[in-house]
Amino acid sequence: MLDDFLIRATLAGLGVALAAAPMGCFVVWRRMAYFGDATAHASILGVAIALALSVSVFLGAMAMALLMALAVTALSGRGYAVDTLLGVLAHSALAFGLVAVSFLSGVRIDLMAYLFGDILAVGKTDLALIWGGAALVLALLTWRWSALLTATLNPDLAHASGIDPRREQLVLTLALAVVVAVAIKVVGVLLIAALLIIPAAAARPFARTPEGMAVIAVLVAGLSVLGGLQASLMFDTPTGPSIVCIAALIFAGSALGTSLRRG
Amino acid sequence: MSLIEARDLSVRYGGHTVLSHVDMSIDKGEIVTIVGPNGSGKSTLLRAIIGAVPVASGRLIRDAGVSIGYVPQKLAIDPTLPMTVARFMSLPRRQHPADVAAALEQAGVPDLSTRQMTDLSGGQFQRVLLARALLAKPDLLLLDEATQGLDQPGSAAFYRQIEDVRRRLGCAVLMVSHELHVVMSASDRVICLNGHVCCQGTPEIVASAPEYRALFGTGTQGALALYRHDHNHSHDDGCDHDHGHAHDHAHDTGVIPLHQTTRDKVH
């Protein structure tokens, strides 16, 4: 069954959706959208370094994403506004990554595959990594769910309940790095943030509780993957961007429906 | 045995000292109010007690097994975060629905559990925060300017609720307030704070203390003087005449404090 590239692509996409959607809810609730974007962009430098050292691209991307996220966390509040800092670090990392890739003359690298994803080329090893990573993210989020939510609501409220908000921030940062690493193959570094934010945003109007929003976001992300794959086969369009387009259409429908309902 | 005791407690924030050498304690069942001008470290003291800010020196002694319920100054829930009152009450630990209903009842908002947090009025929101704090079965309830943003009748009703809760549960209450007239009638003890403890005692004692009058004045019940006197003042001038007039400060006997402004010197 896994010999069919389409089945592998579908499973890979669903694996990423399963991890990215709940993570994306926290990104939206904590207003970390730009943070997520910056972390994802930085990972291309990790890809370049990994290729140069002939180590796993997955690990390289994850390490770089983690490093980036930790650097931003450590540097914020030291004279620069966070958005300025993110703009500097993210685009620098992206630029250095692109330059670094150009030095790798020995290997022929399809840069587009890392920038926009290449879900149809997902192999069995990739699939194992994606589902392993997704399982890790889900386990991490489920384990810390209540503490993460409390810290997201208010850091002092968390302290009063014996929760250290900085530790929860670290858990989220770690989960984000894993999501970035598993999503590169599917949508590429430039569109990872879309897969985090759009399903969560589309789910918001239909949810009454945080848990409800996470579940609906997973459904939206899954639907986007299936629809995007189908559309890309029908119209012969790039798959990663097609997935994001479907997610965007669902978001538009959700937003329109909400405003009509409110009259 | 005090529930909480601060001994020679100092707290620093980014290089400058917010609280220095604070000694205070709170006993079972007491209502203690902290008053002081803006930036005097009132909220910082509460945040130090819950462990949200590190202690720079001195000690904070918490009696073994003391349970604390905390009501924060303000809680901005992001509109992208859907949250019913019932779900909020179960954070971070899941609570039995009957306990949630009882706590909401005690806080005076029995029928709100299915509402969204973002749809509540200011008064309802504060009561839900109070109800959540009550779920911890607190021995000590900490309230940080819990009536900020409520109108006068609203905040008066909220304080009556607090007294009612104290009477029913027997918990001690430590609160920060700007509303001196309420404080003076509702508290067993008042701590007047301005980076350090200026004075403390029963409302009557504090109200007549020269340190307190230097900070808040007398004639206006302090409401006006509150914002005028946020500079450091000296205590050892020994004068006890009326400081309540408009340009009041307690230094006209010749002790010139470090932070005195030129305007004050001219005066």
Contact A161 B92 (CB under 8 A): yes
Closest CA to A40 of A183, A204, A211, A241: A183
How many residue pairs from chains A and B have C-beta atoms closer than 8 A? 68
For residue B251, the model assigns a pLDDT of 36
B92 vs B186: CA distance, rounded Å: 31
Burial readout B101-136 (b: 16 or more C-beta within 10 A, e: otherwise): bbbbebbbbeebbebbbeebebbbbbbbbbbbbbbb
Closest CA to A195 of A158, A234, A237, A223: A223
Minimal CA separation from A70 to chain B, in Å: 21
CA distances from A49 to A79, A133, B178 (A): 30, 21, 58
Higher per-residue confidence, A1 vs B40: B40
Output the six-digit token pair for B244: 């309540």
Query: What is the tens place of the pLDDT at every residue in B211-252?
Result: 877 877 665 444 433 333 334 444 444 333 443 333 333 333
Asked if residue B257 lies in contact with residue B231, where contact means CB atoms within 8 angstroms, the answer is yes
Q: Which of B87, B92, B94 sits opposite A209 (nearest CB)?
A: B87
* Cβ-based neighbours of B169, under 8 Å, separated by 6 or more: B106, B134, B137, B138
B-chain CB neighbours of A31 within 8 Å are: 78
For residue A106, the model assigns a pLDDT of 60
For residue B220, the model assigns a pLDDT of 47
A176 vs B109: CA distance, rounded Å: 39
What is the DSSP track for B176-243? Answer: E-S-HHHHHHH-SEEEEESSSEEEEESHHHHHH-HHHHHHH-STTTTTTHHHH--S---STT---S--
A-chain CB neighbours of B88 within 8 Å are: 153
Q: Which of A156, A163, A207 sits opposite B92 (nearest CB)?
A: A163
Q: Which of B69, B72, B82 sits opposite A212 (nearest CB)?
A: B82
A-chain CB neighbours of B68 within 8 Å are: 160
CA distances from B26 to B45, B142, B156, B176 (A): 13, 11, 23, 14
Q: Which of B50, B80, B92 sits opposite A150 (nearest CB)?
A: B92
* Cβ-based neighbours of B23, under 8 Å, separated by 6 or more: B6, B7, B8, B9, B197
Asked if residue B179 lies in contact with residue B155, where contact means CB atoms within 8 angstroms, the answer is yes
B238 vs B254: CA distance, rounded Å: 11
Q: How many residues does chain B have?
A: 267
Task: Give bridge partners of residue B69 from the DSSP assignment.
Answer: B141
Closest CA to A91 of A40, A138, A133: A40
Of the residues A152, A161, A167, the best mutation for testing chain B's interface (the one with the most B CB atoms within 10 Å of its CB) is: A161
Asked if residue A253 lies in contact with residue A201, where contact means CB atoms within 8 angstroms, the answer is no
Contact A156 B51 (CB under 8 A): no
Q: Is A163 on the interface with B (CB under 8 A)?
A: yes
Closest CA to A159 of B130, B149, B48: B48
Output the six-digit token pair for B112: 């709100």
Mean pLDDT of B28-48: 89
Asked if residue A181 lies in contact with residue A43, where contact means CB atoms within 8 angstroms, the answer is yes
Output the six-digit token pair for B142: 């900490």
Asked if residue B200 lies in contact with residue B188, where contact means CB atoms within 8 angstroms, the answer is no
For residue A116, the model assigns a pLDDT of 87
Closest CA to A99 of A137, A44, A61: A44
For residue B213, the model assigns a pLDDT of 79
For residue B130, the model assigns a pLDDT of 92
Output the six-digit token pair for A185: 């193959």
Reported as a pLDDT band with limits 50, 70 and 90, residue B255 is very low
Closest CA to B72 of B154, B171, B148, B11: B148
Asked if residue B116 lies in contact with residue B149, where contact means CB atoms within 8 angstroms, the answer is no
CA B231-B234-B240 angle, 5° bins: 115
B184 vs B197: CA distance, rounded Å: 17
Determine how β-strand B31-35 pairs with β-strand B189-193: parallel
| Residue B179 backbone dihedrals phi, psi, to 5 degrees | -90, 90
Reply yes or no on whether the pLDDT at B35 is more than 70.
yes
For residue A89, the model assigns a pLDDT of 87
Contact B77 A153 (CB under 8 A): yes
CA distances from A86 to A23, A35, A69, A75 (A): 19, 7, 9, 10
Output the six-digit token pair for A260: 């009509």
For residue B164, the model assigns a pLDDT of 87
Q: What is the mean pLDDT of chain B?
A: 79
The three-state secondary structure class of B174 is: strand
Output the six-digit token pair for A146: 């209540």
Contact A201 B92 (CB under 8 A): no
Name the DSSP class of B145: S
Asked if residue A213 lies in contact with residue A29, where contact means CB atoms within 8 angstroms, the answer is no
B134 vs A20: CA distance, rounded Å: 36
What is the DSSP track for B16-77? Answer: EEEEEEEEEEE-TT-EEEEE--TTSSHHHHHHHHTTSS---EEEEEE-TT--EEEE-S----
Q: Which of B51, B81, B116 sits opposite A29 (nearest CB)?
A: B81
Which H or E run contains A10?
helix A5-29
A250 vs A253: CA distance, rounded Å: 5
Q: What does each of the 263 residues of chain A score in pLDDT, given as a tens digit?
A: 677 889 999 999 999 999 999 999 999 999 888 888 888 988 989 988 888 888 888 999 999 999 988 888 788 767 778 788 888 888 898 899 888 888 876 655 677 888 888 899 899 999 999 999 999 999 999 999 999 999 999 999 999 898 999 899 999 999 999 999 999 988 998 899 999 999 999 999 999 999 999 999 999 999 999 999 999 999 999 999 999 999 999 999 999 988 888 76
Minimal CA separation from B235 to chain A, in Å: 34
Contact B87 A210 (CB under 8 A): yes
Closest CA to A183 of A198, A168, A166, A205: A198
Reply yes or no on whether the pLDDT at B259 is more than 70.
no
